[in-house]
Structure 1
Amino acid sequence: MKEGKVITFGEIMLRLATPDYLRFNQASEFTATYGGGEANVAVSLANYGLAVDFVTRLPKNDLGRTCSMDLRKYGVGVDNIVYGGERLGIYFLETGAVSRGSKVVYDRAHSAISEIELGMIDWNQVFEGASWFHWTGITPAISQGAAEVCLEAIKEANKRGITVSTDLNYRKNLWKYGKTAGEIMPELVAGCDVILGNEEDAEKVLGISPEGLDITGGHVEADAYLSVSQQITKQFPRCKKVITTLRGSISANHNSWTGVLYDGKTLYKANNTYQITHIVDRVGGGDSFMGGLIYGLITWPENDQKALNFAVAASCLKHTIYGDYNQVTVEEVEKLMNGDASGRVAR
């Protein structure tokens, strides 16, 4: 892969979370941070030392400026953010425990980026010096305008020979503007070189599921995703790699975590399946995987196995970090990837 800046595009929101494990009706205060799929990926990449810009539309007010400052603090480029609209999207998080799952309530209608239009972003300028573009299925779910601008970006990236990646990220509660994921997403996915998604994403977004298996059963072996990967590469011939995260939800606090990568010929399985027994925060787990994967594919372009192992280890560590962002270093990821899961004090 050629060297260059990574560009991510999507919505960032104010995250208001109940403290500890309180339910919404118990909370008298919320902890405020920022987060959103593509911004989370950008922060991961900046932590790993890559040049990365996050592109979005923010309101020109104190919240928009504070959000931009927060990204800059982590080393993410914000010069191509455009300003306009009335509000920053918000999401409320109630963290689950044991058999009670977490809950998310969105308050993002009429956010600045939901009212974005073609031509508002100068993609010619954005992609100057870029070698990678990343987006997720959350962005085209926000509004027709966001979907159109996302497609505008993908087409420009394709013209420039920039690698394009997506996380399918199906969110049923977001597709509210009259179009379904199945109507919008295939045209966008057709411009992608790298596709990440779990079994629900593939089924709900692309109509693809593991052959002969019930994906609602709660446990699917890694080999079952070979058929999904083969169907995706057949349907989208531009795609060079299909990656799937495999999460086993034993409880809200205990998940197993691994992944597979298909390169058109071989299905690679991650060397480790991690048992994450005391989850601090699982929000952003998939984004941390994508951040690790992009870093791995750029850093070790001839070693898909190593890139996959890095992504799984990075996202395992994310589950120990509060907030949407995965605030870990390359050295910490490689330590876990190479077998040191002791958690001993470093001094």
Structure 2
Amino acid sequence: MNNKVITFGEVMLRLATPEYKRFSQSNSFVATFGGGEVNVSVSLANFGIPTAYVTRLPNNDIGKSCKEKLNEFGIDTSHIVFGGERLGIYYLETGAVARGSKVVYDRENSVFTSLEKGMINWDEVFKDACWFHWTGITPAISPGATRVLEEALEKANEKGITVSCDVNYRSKLWKEGIKAEEVMPRLIAKTNVLIGNEFDAEKVLGIRNKLPVGVEYSKFTFELIAKQLMQKYPRLEKVITTRRGTISANHNSWVGILFNGEKVFESPTYQMTHIVDRVGGGDALMAGLIYGFLNWPNNDQKTICFAVAASFLKHTISGDGNDVCIEEVKQLVKGDLAGKIDW
């Protein structure tokens, strides 16, 4: 039975300052592993969905430790390839109130950047797969990573596997001379489910925003852009976005919108009044979407509500991964926001 979800991308060592300290104040860092695609696998494994993560890790104790940690979540790591010596790193300073968070990347010349076609046996990877997930971070990392991703997308399309992407545009990652707007369109053309917003559509995906000057993003503007995306990229079946209202670094509003080619579906708007860690919120949303599409294929309203609730809960969890179970998400969907002690 083909029921496994495959994710592909770079995993990094995350070094975060504790207790909202600034880089200049901290004498220590909290070390965990994270990355957009592996975060999706962590969530899906917690939801009971068979999932495999594909990446390249250094052939040293750090790489082996990362693999062991992923195995603890129940993620299939049998397709991870080893080579080289350096795992990418990112440093996180968590903001508070009016001070925003900061991220510093240290991922130049990581083992993932030197990936090349032929290193991964995609026929073997996709043997039991029904879904393949990637993000726009991977093609920003290196031309080699882009070629391997294209190799995977072609094989997934050939096998009829559903493909999802979170555009996840990060201007700091795209190297000079490699433009997202030149690379991403040909990759999105092989994709079925997309997370992105009006900015992503115009900046990266070649959609010219014809909205009147001064018009704020809304459910209406998203539907207009989503329709244009589906016309330009015929494989697209679902387009999803989120709206984050920022009151402060610790207090955001959060809502999700889904367009299926015919109708727009919107989740309730949540007020996240005490954010613990917002990193990985979009990945938790993607995992919730995949879970919903697999379990409720004819109920997009239920899916977007579940996905946004899962993402809401991620904002209460420290670290990249969304370490919550299905029951917790479903309880939140029912409207239980009290956070009572589970006696």
Same fold (TM > 0.5): yes
Structure 1 residue 147 displacement after superposition:
0.7
Mark the runs of 5 or more structure 2 residues left unpaired by the alignment: none
| In structure 2, C-alpha distance between the alignment counterparts of 1:214 and 1:248, rounded to whole Å | 20
1:42-81 superposed matches below 5 A = 42-81=41-80
- Asked if 1:221 corresponds to 2:206, the answer is no
Structure 1 residue 243 displacement after superposition:
0.5
Structure 1 residue 92 displacement after superposition:
0.1
Aligned to 1:100: 99
Aligned to 1:189: 188
What secondary structure does 1:158 align onto?
helix
What secondary structure does 1:24 align onto?
coil
| In structure 1, C-alpha distance between the alignment counterparts of 2:210 and 2:102, rounded to whole Å | 31
| In structure 2, C-alpha distance between the alignment counterparts of 1:86 and 1:38, rounded to whole Å | 21
AA aligned opposite 2:276: V
**CA 1:213–1:314: 2 relative to 1, 3 Å:** farther
Q: Is the CA contact (8 Å cut-off) linking 1:13 and 1:36 kept in structure 2? A: yes
| In structure 1, C-alpha distance between the alignment counterparts of 2:117 and 2:285, rounded to whole Å | 30
**CA 1:200–1:85: 2 relative to 1, 3 Å:** farther
Task: Give the structure-1-normalised TM-score.
Answer: 0.96
Q: Is the CA contact (8 Å cut-off) linking 2:185 and 2:206 kept in structure 1? A: no
AA aligned opposite 2:172: N
| In structure 2, C-alpha distance between the alignment counterparts of 1:5 and 1:260, rounded to whole Å | 26
Q: Is the CA contact (8 Å cut-off) linking 1:143 and 1:177 kept in structure 2? A: no
- Asked if 1:170 corresponds to 2:169, the answer is yes
Aligned to 1:239: 236
- Cα shift readout 1:213-270 (whole Å, capped 9, x = no counterpart): 558x8x6322221111111101101100000111111111011001111111111111
| In structure 2, C-alpha distance between the alignment counterparts of 1:91 and 1:125, rounded to whole Å | 31
Aligned to 2:276: 280
AA aligned opposite 1:178: G
Match of 2:261 among 261, 264, 267: 264
1:3-18 superposed matches below 5 A = 3-18=2-17
Q: Is the CA contact (8 Å cut-off) linking 1:202 and 1:208 kept in structure 2? A: yes
What secondary structure does 2:105 align onto?
strand
Match of 2:337 among 336, 341, 346: 341
Aligned to 1:37: 36
Aligned to 1:139: 138
What secondary structure does 2:320 align onto?
coil
**CA 1:210–1:317: 2 relative to 1, 3 Å:** farther
- Cα shift readout 1:251-301 (whole Å, capped 9, x = no counterpart): 11011001111111111111x100001000000000000011101110111
Alpha-carbon RMSD across the aligned residues, in angstroms, is 1.3
AA aligned opposite 1:105: V
Structure 1 residue 21 displacement after superposition:
1.0
| In structure 2, C-alpha distance between the alignment counterparts of 1:231 and 1:11, rounded to whole Å | 31
Structure 1 residue 201 displacement after superposition:
2.3
- Asked if 1:299 corresponds to 2:298, the answer is no
AA aligned opposite 1:237: P
| In structure 2, C-alpha distance between the alignment counterparts of 1:159 and 1:316, rounded to whole Å | 35
- Asked if 1:82 corresponds to 2:117, the answer is no
Q: Is the CA contact (8 Å cut-off) linking 2:270 and 2:312 kept in structure 1? A: yes
Q: Is the CA contact (8 Å cut-off) linking 1:170 and 1:200 kept in structure 2? A: no
1:115-134 superposed matches below 5 A = 115-134=114-133
| In structure 1, C-alpha distance between the alignment counterparts of 2:38 and 2:26, rounded to whole Å | 27
AA aligned opposite 1:181: A
| In structure 2, C-alpha distance between the alignment counterparts of 1:200 and 1:99, rounded to whole Å | 24
| In structure 2, C-alpha distance between the alignment counterparts of 1:213 and 1:281, rounded to whole Å | 35
| In structure 2, C-alpha distance between the alignment counterparts of 1:65 and 1:209, rounded to whole Å | 46
Task: Give the structure-2-normalised TM-score.
Answer: 0.97
Aligned to 1:322: 318
Aligned to 1:313: 309
What secondary structure does 2:204 align onto?
helix
Structure 1 residue 112 displacement after superposition:
0.6
What secondary structure does 2:24 align onto?
helix
**CA 1:110–1:132: 2 relative to 1, 3 Å:** same
Range 242-251 or range 308-317, more displaced: 242-251
